[in-house]
Amino acid sequence: MSTTHDQYKENGRADQLARHILCEFRQEVMEVLDDLKQTLALSREEFTALKEVVAGALDAELNTRPNQAYYSTAEAAGLLDKQTYTVREWCRLQRIHARKRPTGRGDALEWEISSEEIQRIREHGLLPLPERY
């Protein structure tokens, strides 16, 4: 205990001691809160800067990709951040507009999806399931 506290005890002034302790505690709490406020302000600034960097990187990625007329299911899956199987199923279930193209591997045909359809999926989502399913 500090000498100030001992002086209060010696004089029998418990009330004054309690007020003094509360005043010291309040001052310590205010200092901690000020430190927290400064830390949060820095974190907010760092978060805003990081958000801008990520947005710029995404824009750069989208603008540097070659704009093809048609994409395979694997390429479309990469553009839409989905699995290739999922995109093939969307084609099969007619949830997206796609057509078959020859692959050069015998009778097998491969789905192809237009760049306009990729954009439509990003903006509006999938088509509803057809009646027959």
Sorted by where each begins, the domain ranges of the chain are 3-64, 70-124
Q: Report pLDDT for 99.
A: 94
Rg of the chain over Cα atoms, rounded to whole angstroms, equals 33
One digit per residue, the tens of pLDDT, for the chain of length 133 reads 556 666 656 666 777 778 888 888 888 989 999 888 888 888 888 888 888 888 888 777 666 666 789 999 999 999 899 999 999 999 999 999 999 998 777 787 899 999 999 999 988 999 999 887 5
70-72 vs 99-102, strand pairing mode:
unpaired
Encoded tokens for 53: 């960097």
CA-to-CA distance for 16 and 106, rounded, in angstroms?
96
Start-to-end CA span in the chain (Å)? 80
Distance of CA 25 to the CA centre of its chain: 40
One-letter identity of residue 78: G
Q: What is the residue whose two structure tokens read 């505690």?
A: 25
CA-to-CA distance for 36 and 44, rounded, in angstroms?
12
CATH number of 70-124: 1.10.10
Q: Report pLDDT for 66.
A: 62
